[in-house]
């Protein structure tokens, strides 16, 4: 029997310059954020550039991440803002990744 390795997927939220929150999934949330900052990928950022990676949640697999992404996208904005403070947010134990170096 062959066991296949399934890498973890991540659901993430990025704050745009207009304060909107963009939700997506990726195998590497920080790398995907860098792509958003470079103008690659989502058209969402064509009108308001990505400013900060504000939420990252680890999921067991892609299917779980897709379901969680859909659930987050269906939330009202105030609920998404509350997520940023939730224990599930893996960035709470790290520094929030900001586009601009300090």
String of DSSP letters for the chain:
-PPPP---EEEEEEEETTS-EEEEEES-HHHHHHHHHTT-S-GGGGTS-EEEEEEEEEESSHHHHHHHHHHHHTS-HHHHHHHTTSTT-GGGGS--EESS--
Query: Which domains occur in the chain, in start order?
Result: 9-97 (3.40.1440.10)
Tens of pLDDT along the chain (102 residues)?
Answer: 666 777 899 999 999 999 999 999 999 999 999 999 998 878 899 899 999 999 999 999 999 999 999 999 999 999 999 999 888 888 876 644 555 544
Per-residue model confidence (pLDDT) at position 94: 60
Per-residue model confidence (pLDDT) at position 37: 92
The whole model's pTM is what? 0.84
Per-residue model confidence (pLDDT) at position 98: 55
Per-residue model confidence (pLDDT) at position 87: 80
């Amino acid at each position: 029997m062959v066991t296949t390795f399934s890498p973890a997927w991540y659901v993430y939220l990025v704050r745009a310059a207009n304060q909107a929150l963009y939700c997506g999934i990726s195998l590497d949330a920080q790398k995907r954020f860098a792509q958003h900052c470079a103008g690659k990928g989502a058209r969402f950022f064509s009108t308001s550039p990505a400013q900060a990676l504000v939420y990252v949640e680890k999921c067991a697999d892609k299917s779980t991440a897709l379901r969680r992404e859909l659930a987050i996208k269906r939330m009202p904005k105030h609920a998404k803002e509350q997520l940023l403070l939730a224990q599930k947010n893996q960035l709470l134990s790290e520094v929030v990744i900001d586009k601009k170096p300090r």
